[in-house]
Amino acid sequence: MIARRHQVALALTALLASAAACQARDPGAAEPPGRPAPPAARGFTLVATGDILPHTGIIDRARFDAGGTGYDFRPMFAGAEPVVARADLALCHMGTVYGANGAYTGYPSFTSPPEIADALAATGYDGCATASDHSLDDGAAGVQRTLDALDGAGVRHAGTARTEAEGNSVTLLRAGPAKVAHLAYTYGTNGHPLPQGQPWTVNLLDGNRIVADAKAARKAGADVVVVSVHWGTEWQDAPDDRQLTLARTLTASRTDGRPDIDLILGTHAHVPQAYEKVNGTWVVFGLGDQIAGEMSGNQGVRDARGNQSTVARFTFAPPARPGGRWEVRRAEFVPQMFDIDAGRLVDLDEAIAQGAGVAGVRDRIRQVVLSRGAAKNGLVMGR
């Protein structure tokens, strides 16, 4: 994996310092990550972030940051590096496919520079969900280029495939002492049909299939099963009925009393949505857009929520007995925004500490994230 670099562009994007010792705080206050468990009972920490959508302005910025030759996305992601790099396992959502030979486009059909894969590796990501409504914007060739680039950067992937064997395989990642299966699915592909004879190219959202895949992942050796779902209604803060129904279905599935799915991570809505513990399992209904250009909502006017997101951070503890469930012992969210003018990802709590006037943005995100009662189940705002 490419060496991780730490870059500071502006005061807004100053990187996080190492967290101080844990202190008891209320759910509305930022909390540092907890201390590692003793070696004999070591768990792991997983972080996940939202949609990466390189609009034309994002591509132009990466070219500028590269000095006009090539594309450098690393400075954009630098604000996330302190949180991402400290995790045992870090997952992103790559919302677009990669193009070739400089033929890169933004909305509505995305083909992004493959240099993004290098930036993901440099930031500390271990794997990415690649199933989205834009997975087939450039057909099977786009899928091929994207997965080839991620492989070349040492970043694992789930949700799309180049071959039938790959489509039927389980993405298993190491997180400290645990094996974590990462599964990913999308509600659709914006009307693009699956390539003829290649139905395995993109994983489409189907509750029965997800449960079957989760059971297969467990049989393949997964201690923890994480499911990324590209779902929801765009620009809607609240999860829609389909999200709520599917979340209940997936979290209710059990084998020998043990849940088949341990964590659900949602993307697609362009705005942060609530976190909620459903049937004893954490569900992030929407992480929001981590990297995106200027966004227009349903009314056709700029909607700043499209550049707001959270980092989900879950610390898992090992089972109390052999074959038991790895339990989430700490659940956190870290509010972020993408500063379009600076072309940088901003940790909002850090920016506020430096005097930036973004407390209202952070507070709005916190209100939405906690809107379904997650605080009573222990979710706190981290840093």
Instruction: Kindly report which listed range (27-41, 124-138, 218-232, 286-300) carries the lowest average pLDDT score.
Output: 27-41
List beta partners, residue 315.
Answer: 45, 330
Confidence of residue 253 (pLDDT cuts 50, 70, 90): very high
Whether 183 and 171 have beta carbons less than 8 Å apart is answered as: yes
Number of domains within the chain: 1
| pLDDT value at residue 323 | 86
- Percent of the chain's residues with pLDDT above 90: 86
In a domain, 17, yes or no: no
Residue 208 has which token pair?
């029965």
Residue 363 has which token pair?
């507070």
Encode 186-207: b = buried (16+ Cβ within 10 Å), e = exposed. Answer: bbebeebebeeebebbbbbbee
Q: How far is CA 233 from the centre of its chain?
A: 17
Whether 65 and 78 have beta carbons less than 8 Å apart is answered as: no
| pLDDT value at residue 40 | 46
- Percent of the chain's residues with pLDDT above 70: 89
Q: Which of 230, 304, 215, 296 is nearest to 262 (CA)?
A: 215
| pLDDT value at residue 41 | 67
Confidence of residue 322 (pLDDT cuts 50, 70, 90): confident
Q: What is the pTM of this model?
A: 0.90
User: What is the tens place of the pLDDT at every residue in 44-59?
Assistant: 999 999 999 999 999 9
Residue 114 has which token pair?
């493959």
| pLDDT value at residue 31 | 47
| pLDDT value at residue 300 | 82
In a domain, 307, yes or no: yes
379: phi then psi, degrees, rounded to nearest 5: -70, 130
In a domain, 10, yes or no: no
* End-to-end C-alpha distance for the chain, whole angstroms: 25
Residue 93 has which token pair?
């959502």
List beta partners, residue 122.
Answer: none
CB-facing half-sphere around the CA of 332: CA atoms within 13 A: 26
Residue 210 has which token pair?
């997800």
User: What is the tens place of the pLDDT at every residue in 151-164?
Assistant: 999 999 999 999 99
In a domain, 62, yes or no: yes
Residue type, 213: D
Residue type, 356: A
Q: Which of 288, 297, 293, 290 is nearest to 364 (CA)?
A: 288
Q: How far is CA 295 from the centre of its chain?
A: 19
Cα distance between residue 230 and residue 132, in whole Å: 6
Cα–Cα separations (whole angstroms), residue 294 to 46, 287, 307: 29, 17, 7
User: What is the tens place of the pLDDT at every residue in 10-40?
Assistant: 333 333 333 333 333 344 455 444 444 444 4
Residue 2 has pLDDT above 90, yes or no: no
| pLDDT value at residue 50 | 98
Cα distance between residue 235 and residue 192, in whole Å: 22
Residue 176 has which token pair?
């400290």
Cα distance between residue 173 and residue 353, in whole Å: 35
CATH of the domain at 80: 3.60.21.10
Cα distance between residue 161 and residue 201, in whole Å: 5
What is the rounded average pLDDT of the residues 231-247? 98
Confidence of residue 209 (pLDDT cuts 50, 70, 90): very high
| pLDDT value at residue 10 | 33
- pLDDT: is 271 or 7 the higher one? 271
Residue type, 28: G
Cα distance between residue 337 and residue 362, in whole Å: 9
Cα distance between residue 102 and residue 111, in whole Å: 10
| pLDDT value at residue 383 | 86
Instruction: Kindly report which listed range (23-37, 81-95, 135-149) carries the lowest average pLDDT score.
Output: 23-37
List beta partners, residue 227.
Answer: 183, 264
Cα distance between residue 60 and residue 62, in whole Å: 5
Whether 54 and 116 have beta carbons less than 8 Å apart is answered as: yes
What is the rounded average pLDDT of the residues 117-146? 98
Cα distance between residue 150 and residue 65, in whole Å: 21
Whether 172 and 158 have beta carbons less than 8 Å apart is answered as: no
Torsion angle of C-alpha atoms 183, 184, 187, 189, degrees rounded to 10 = -140
In a domain, 295, yes or no: yes
Range of the domain at 113: 42-382
Run of H or E residues at 94: strand 89-94
- pLDDT: is 332 or 321 the higher one? 332
Cα distance between residue 218 and residue 223, in whole Å: 7
In a domain, 22, yes or no: no
In a domain, 292, yes or no: yes
